Each structure stands twice: as C-alpha cells, then as structure tokens.
Amino acid sequence: MKIFLKPSVAIALLFCSLFAAAQAQQTAERAYPEGYITGVVTSANGPEAGVWVIAETKETNTPFVKIVVTDDDGRYTLPQMPEATFNVWVRGYGLVDSESVEGRPGDRDLNLTAVVAATAREAAAVYPADYWFALLEIPTSDMFPGTGPEGNGFSPQLETQDEWVHAYKSRCHFCHQQGSEITRTLDHMDHLGFDTHEEAWDYRLQLGVRGGGMYGSFVGLGREGMMRILGDWTRGIEAGLVPEQPPRPEGVERNVVVTLRDIGGDHDFMHDEVTTDKNNPTVNANGPVYAVSSGHGTLEIVDPITNDNYKINIPTREDPRIVRNRFPQPGRPSNFWGMEHIWGVENPSDPHNPMMDSLGRVWMTSKIRNDQPDWCREGSDNKFARYFPLTRSGRQASVYDPETQQFELVDTCFSTHHLQFANNPDRTLYFNELSGPMFGWVDTRTWDLTHDEQASQGWCPQIIDTNGDGVITKPWNAAGEENPNPALDTEVSFRLYSVIPDPRDGDIVWGASESYPGHIVRLDRGDNPPETCISEVYQVAEGGLDPRGLDIDSNGVIWAAMAASSHFARFDRTQCDVLNGPGTAEGTHCAQGWTLFKTDGPTYPGTDIPSDFHYFGWVDQHNISGLGKDTPIITGSNSDSLIALDPETGDWTRLRVPYPLGFYQRGLDGRIDDIDAGWKGRSLWANYGTHLIWHVEGGKGTTGKMVQFQIRPDPLAF
C-alpha cells in the first residue's frame, strides 16, 4: 500500500530533515578544540594525588581557565585546550600555590612542582568558605527563647535554636559566601579605628548597596548577640584559629574537568544562567550560554566555542528614566565603591532568572513598567481578575530571540521571580508569585499565535480542598469578604520561592515556601482554571528547615534543597495516605512522604548543623552528567561546589571549583552538545551568582565567571 503525504506534511518533513542536516553541520563546525597538555605533579613528598592543575590565559577573547585533578600517581591531562599560551600551576589541600610554568596545547611532559605548606594556616588559605565558617560558635539551644538586649542579646521572637538557624542561614547567606577571606577578617576596616571586633561588625553590616538589608537582618536576629558571636569568630581567626583540612577529591571527583570563562563586569550581580531547554537539553547545542545581570539590566552572553563575551540591554516598556528601581542608594559608603549607586541606575529592568524554551529563546523575569494595569484589578472582566484580582506586580517578563536579536516584553498581573517550562503542547511557562497567589503562568504557544497578554496568561490562588469533596468552593464571597461557612474550602497564602512543573502533566506544578519550618505546595490547574485550581500543602519533615530550591525527577518525585538545615529532601506524594480533607491546610498529614539526606562537610562547633548553604537544587533527568538518570544535585553555595547525591547509598560527590575561591552559585543546568561524543558532548553549567563579585578571590576588579563541568571516564581522558 502506498502512503501519500499531504503537501503541508511533506514540506514540514523536508524542513525538519534540512534543519537536522543544518544542525549536524553546525555541530561539526562549532566544536571544542582537541588540544591537550599532560604531565606529572610531584612535591617533596613524591607524586601528589587529588590536587588541582590550573591553566589560565588571557589570550582568548575572554579570559579562560581549565582545571583538572591529578590521579593516584600525580598525573594530569588538561583536555580541549584552545590555541594559546597558558600559565599552569598547582593548588591543593595541604599545599601552597605553586609557581606557574608556561604551556601550550601539545605539551606532553609539562611536569609541575607542588609546594607543601609549612603551617596549617598556610594550607588553610585555600579552604572553602564553609570550613572557615564552621569555626563560628552559634548560640546553643538553651539560649532560646532569646532574652533581648538586656539578656543574652538574641531576639525574644526566636523561640528555638532551629528558628535562629532558619532565620540566620536564610537571611545572612542570601547574598554571598560567609567564611571567605574578605568576610572572616576585618583587615580592610583597620583604617576606621574600631576598638573592638563587635564595634567593627556593627558598622560593617551597614555598608554599601546591601547595607540596609544586612543590618535589618542583623538587628532582627538580635544585635547584641550577633555582635558577640561574630566578634568572637573573627577574633579567634585573628589569633590563629584554623579549620580542619578538607579531604582531597577521590574517585569520580578526580574525573571532573572545570572550564571557566569571564563574563560581565566588575560589579555585575548575575543571579542565574541558562544554556538549553530543561525538557530537551539538545536545544542550543554548542550555542551561546546566558546569564542575567540584575543590577545592570543586561543579558550577559558567552560563546563557549569562540570564547566571545558580550552583553545586551534588556528594555523596559515605560521610559527607563521613570521605571522604579528596587536597589537603594548606599546608606553608608562601601569600602570598595564609596557612595556610588552601582545597580539599577541606567537600566532598571532588574532581570532575575532566565530559562530557555524549545525554540532556543531566552525568557526572563524582568521589570517592564511601574503601575498595575486595570485589567488585572477588581472590576475587570478578565476571568482570573474576577476570581482573584491582583493589585501589584513588581516584576514582569521578557523574551530574547537569538535568531532576530530582538526582545519582546510580556506584561503580567502577577509578580515574577523564578520560572520553569512545562513539558506540554502549550509550552506553559510557570512563575512563582512572591506576593500571595501560588502561581502565574504564560502559555507561550498562545502568546506566539496572538501576542495577547490577557489571553495567554492566568493565575490561581492557593485553596486547599479541606472539605474533601474534590472541588473548590471559594472561601470568600463576591465582595472579597471572608465567609466563615465551614463547608467552604480553605485559602492559604504561602510566599513561594521556587517553581517546578511535573514533567508528566503540564497542569500540575509545585512550589517551595521558606515559611518556618518550610513547606511545599502543589497546584493542579484542572480543566477550567481558575475555578478548577486545587492546591495541596506539605510541611517539611522534622529536622528539615528552609526549602528554597525545588526540582522534580522524571517520576514526579520532588527534591528540595533545605538551605538552613543543609539537607537534600525527597518528597514522594504517592506515599501519602491522605491528600485533602479536614486538617490538610496545615500540611502535617504526610510526614511519611519525606526522606532527608544531610550533606557532608564541616559543622558548627557542638552541633550537627553543616556550615554549607544550599541555595538551589537540580535533578539530572537526562543523565547529562553521566552520574545516572535522575541524579539530584544540590548547590554548595558556601563550599565552592556542586554536590551530587546517590540516593541509594546516601553518598555525595563534590564537583569543586578551587579557583578562584568564592564560587557562589544559585542554580545550574545541563546541556548535550553532541549526543554521540560521550563526555565531551555533555556539560553541566553554573555561574558565580554572588551579589558582591568583588568578594571573589582577586578582589575588586575581578569579574563574573561562567563555569562548565564535564565528567570524563578517568583523570587522564582527552
């Protein structure tokens, strides 16, 4: 039987085949270099195993660094090296940095001499920040509830040590690492002439662009108590206190290849990066990688093949001179920038988080205007506004198309923060809503067809089916007044930090709330949102604190990064006996759904609380890393690392970035550049996402970095 195709189908298939051929040709043309350098690292102790060999050059279009780890015999191989002259040197735990030697691709015996540290303090200079921060003596359990400024100095509003840890780690690790060289010393403040470390800390936390936020958190925790513990910490370090030595990389950790490329300027705050479509990681193969500079309103771009580095301004719909800027003028002068207003002055678009769609376009949360349009408010005929009107939106959305090199701006009634694409025909883009409702979304397929902002977006409040009838009956009347009828359902309002749709059903989406001790919330939009939107809430298991970052595996199991308690938490909804009905609004009805995995690393004295901070988590749904399908990876934002978990054994694998110190990351993603090229065609990506890039090793003048991770089969593969 012959099969005849309609002309439109035949044309489509022809287009697809031509596109595939063009993509294959592009992949062949745009490939990483194949040059490599090999050698052996030895010291006075013999071959040095598990130390880093670092090669850096400024001869490429943007500064370039390659880092590998030595094998058991001290051998190393630096793969995929561009044609340039490199300074090559050694860093490792128990060593001091070696002198560099020059090398070029093709050098096969570039042997290096490592230098053993003479003292523990010399060796500790290159330890990750969390090891230094583990020297901090946090308040003990018997100090809570706090007794205020006339007592132990901690806030009476903090009733337990867990509440203090939750508040402290969620607020005070939010911007940058703690324990880095610049934070563990007061040397750069000597000129101010303080008599005590306590006085210096009280002043220090009011400085610069983040001074207002830092000092507000400091006072909220208890000014006098915080002055005391921070003063004791830096005073002890000044007197010679040093942390324990971290373990050197072992096993798979020695197979890691790290490549860094400079991106952005010397005071860019680049929150996040993106390289591909989460649902199809072959999108944008070998293409540019993107980050957003929140403080400067720019899309920052690095081409990993050519090593070009450039930026594009993100526009606003209203005149940028009148769009309100959320970044305040410094209250007190920064030690680095004085009273210079370094963020948001020229371009207030304030992008926060980029994601890539299946067409290779970059979608961002960004500010496009000031005041809320009437169609979002009460009295509008928009069905979502009639159901749940919204009065404000601090940030909206934009999309950049690399094909046209043009931006389009999308107004949203809801505020936007993080965003993720569902795996569905509508290409639904979900956003977490920071100011109340659970989620907003844009059906990007509808947007592409109509460019109608109202027709393509929607949002739902968080309403729990507490009467258990399977449908939602609004707990308020048409006037927006609360209705106490017990037969009605229950509205909750968890401020959500992150968002992730279920890859099996694009109408189901989850979010994480930091509200103590922490909750995750599930929304099922149903077939006629907003009326059919049903939510569920689940409080984290005992011991878990502060779920900030959220991802999901291919089976619908949630993984939540517990920023305060330093767990990676797994939640399996299929283990719940009860999903809705009376009492479910508190979220305590499915403790059995949780499994907590505490990350390794140093802990605060006298506690089992790690000093690392986990900003976000990610699940490798497509086995891009080579560590296995659905491997969960958590960010070691205070430990210069990405940390992969084997859920079967509970073992952790650290992908460490030893140079420059200060790799504070807020997320990651993974891309497949060539599905047939093995480890060479697959990479994880992250960026230095610290607010204060001048805290990174190198100090003022250093710039952001885009970081590429590859895991090869052995430490010598090239």
pLDDT in the model for residue 68 = 98
Residues 6+ apart with CB under 8 A from 221: 154, 155, 158, 164, 167, 168, 171, 172
Distance, in Å, from the CA atom of 513 to the CA atom of 521, rounded to the nearest integer, reads 8
307 or 329, which is more confident = 307
Task: List pLDDT tens digits, range 667-689.
Answer: 999 999 999 999 999 999 999 99
What is the mean predicted confidence (pLDDT) over 329-357?
93
Amino acid at 496: L
Structural element, H or E, at residue 211: helix 211-238
pLDDT in the model for residue 4 = 28
- Nearest CA among 486, 484, 501, 482 for reference residue 444: 501
Task: List pLDDT tens digits, range 309-323.
Answer: 999 999 999 999 999
Task: List pLDDT tens digits, range 103-116.
Answer: 999 999 999 999 99
What Cα–Cα distance (Å) separates residue 246 from each residue in 44, 66, 128, 348, 546? 21, 22, 8, 42, 26
Distance, in Å, from the CA atom of 471 to the CA atom of 490, rounded to the nearest integer, reads 12
Distance, in Å, from the CA atom of 16 to the CA atom of 328, rounded to the nearest integer, reads 50
pLDDT in the model for residue 181 = 96
pLDDT in the model for residue 1 = 28
Residues 6+ apart with CB under 8 A from 28: none
434 or 257, which is more confident = 257
pLDDT in the model for residue 484 = 65
Beta strands 112-113 and 35-43 are parallel
pLDDT in the model for residue 20 = 37
% helix, strand, coil for the chain, step of 5: 20, 30, 50
Task: List pLDDT tens digits, range 82-98.
Answer: 999 999 999 999 999 99
pLDDT in the model for residue 16 = 38
Distance, in Å, from the CA atom of 410 to the CA atom of 428, rounded to the nearest integer, reads 14
pLDDT category, 486, cuts 50, 70, 90?
low
Q: Which residue ranges make up each domain of the chain?
A: 35-122, 129-238
Q: Identify the burial level of 713 via C-beta atoms within 10 angstroms of its C-beta, where 0-12 means exposed, 13-18 middle and 19 or more buried.
A: exposed
Which CATH code for domain 35-122?
Answer: 2.60.40.1120
Distance, in Å, from the CA atom of 26 to the CA atom of 47, rounded to the nearest integer, reads 42
Task: List pLDDT tens digits, range 531-588.
Answer: 999 999 999 999 999 999 999 999 999 999 999 999 999 999 999 999 999 999 999 9
Distance, in Å, from the CA atom of 297 to the CA atom of 261, rounded to the nearest integer, reads 21
pLDDT in the model for residue 477 = 64
Tokens of 592: 């059995």
User: 18 pLDDT exceeds 90?
Assistant: no
User: 12 pLDDT exceeds 60?
Assistant: no
Residues 6+ apart with CB under 8 A from 687: 263, 270, 272, 273, 291, 665, 704, 705, 706, 707
User: 278 pLDDT exceeds 90?
Assistant: yes
- Nearest CA among 54, 144, 147 for reference residue 99: 54
What is the mean predicted confidence (pLDDT) over 517-523?
97
pLDDT in the model for residue 488 = 86
pLDDT in the model for residue 479 = 58
